[in-house]
Amino acid sequence: MMTSRLLRLTSPSRRALLAAALTLPGLAVAAPAAPTPVRAVASFSILADWVRVVGGERVAVDVLVPPGADAHVFQPTPAHARQIAQAQAVFAIGLGFEGWLGRLLQSAAYRGLKIEVSQGIEPVRQAAHGHSHGHGHAHGDVDPHAWQSVKQAMVMVGRVAEGLCQADAAGCETYRANAAAYAGELRTLDTEIRAAWAAVPAEQRRVITTHDAFGYYARDYGVRFLAARGVSTEAEPSAQGIARLIRQVRQEKVRALFVENISDPRLIEQIARDTGTRPAPEALFSDALSPAGGPAPTYTALMRHNTRALVRAVRGD
Ligand code: ZN
């Protein structure tokens, strides 16, 4: 994993530096001692990106739910429990997003720091969905997908920095400085997204997705999302819910239908067939980054990719 790769990278190079310092006559200054990295675990790929950005070289980050995978239906293994057992800090979104985490921490007998970064955000209440089929949601009534708001992301990145400060007081200034620099990038990103939507008439801003992951994006950027599933991917959509969505697509002439990187595309493909439309050529990244080399390997790349794809689709480009 990330940690062992980091250790493999740092130890030989440090040894090489030390060897150089010992063999070169007159070179009395030893390489500054790199601290042993803080071991952190992040629940899923987007949060892991923030912990890496804020932690920099002082923190080695393991991620439980990897890029491209669905955190709603994640099933931890003993290997994940071992990662947890070695960690000094575990980062999660909270808001019921990682329903499996409590049991995992317990099975790892974890006693270290647990930081729920959503503390202090302005939550989106779960919308009352027409497709509801009577089952309760594990999440209560709060939408956990807070990273889809850049404003809320800024709050959560601040929480990451404070969590790392608790785990490693000596690095606190570094963490705060990294978080402040990144907050500047996020402000630019937020401005960009607002500018991209400013040119789109409000009545065109309608999108169909697989699951209801974009409530925060909807609130911040004035886009209406209709989803076949609720805020979790666990429950199957009902036939009634799908029929209602198909009616909405026809009546409201929604042109933007999106598959997601973490969800089975067949549902959206069916709705597209039944309504004589086509899914947008690019998937939205809802709950996970893409692998490195894909279109959304970081949080900022993810938000830019989604915004570009959404704006193109609703404009019919
Ligand atoms: Zn989700």
Separation of 286 CA from ligand 1 center, angstroms? 7
Alpha carbon 183 to its chain centroid, in Å, reads 16
Separation of 267 CA from ligand 1 center, angstroms? 16
Q: Contact 286/209 with Cβ under 8 angstroms?
A: yes
Amino acid in the structure at residue 23: T
In whole angstroms, how large is the CA radius of gyration of the chain? Answer: 22
Strand order of the β-sheet with 256-257 is 224-229, 206-211, 256-257
The secondary structure of 140-192 as a DSSP string is TTEE--GGGSHHHHHHHHHHHHHHHHHH-GGGHHHHHHHHHHHHHHHHHHHHH
Separation of 36 CA from ligand 1 center, angstroms? 35
pLDDT, average across residues 84-113: 97
In the prediction, which pLDDT does 139 show?
Answer: 47
Separation of 211 CA from ligand 1 center, angstroms? 7
Separation of 234 CA from ligand 1 center, angstroms? 9
How many residues in total does the chain contain?
317
Listed residues: CB within 5 A of ion ligand 1: 213, 287
In the prediction, which pLDDT does 228 show?
Answer: 83
Q: Where are the alpha helices (DSSP H) in the chain?
A: 2-23, 45-55, 78-85, 101-107, 150-167, 172-198, 215-221, 239-252, 266-275, 299-315
Distance CA 210, CA 232 (A): 10
The more confidently predicted of residues 151 and 11 is 151
Domains and CATH numbers, the chain: 38-190 (3.40.50.1980), 198-315 (3.40.50.1980)
Of the pLDDT bands very low, low, confident and very high (cuts 50, 70, 90), residue 31 is low
Separation of 103 CA from ligand 1 center, angstroms? 20
Of the pLDDT bands very low, low, confident and very high (cuts 50, 70, 90), residue 159 is very high
Least confident of 227-231, 259-263, 272-276: 227-231
Separation of 186 CA from ligand 1 center, angstroms? 22
Separation of 207 CA from ligand 1 center, angstroms? 16
Of the pLDDT bands very low, low, confident and very high (cuts 50, 70, 90), residue 236 is confident
Amino acid in the structure at residue 247: R
The secondary structure of 91-108 as a DSSP string is EE--TTS-TTHHHHHHHT
Q: Contact 240/173 with Cβ under 8 angstroms?
A: no
Separation of 297 CA from ligand 1 center, angstroms? 18
Mean pLDDT of the chain: 87
Q: Contact 38/172 with Cβ under 8 angstroms?
A: no
Separation of 47 CA from ligand 1 center, angstroms? 14
In the prediction, which pLDDT does 36 show?
Answer: 87
Q: pTM of the predicted model, to two decimals?
A: 0.85
DSSP character for 316? Answer: T
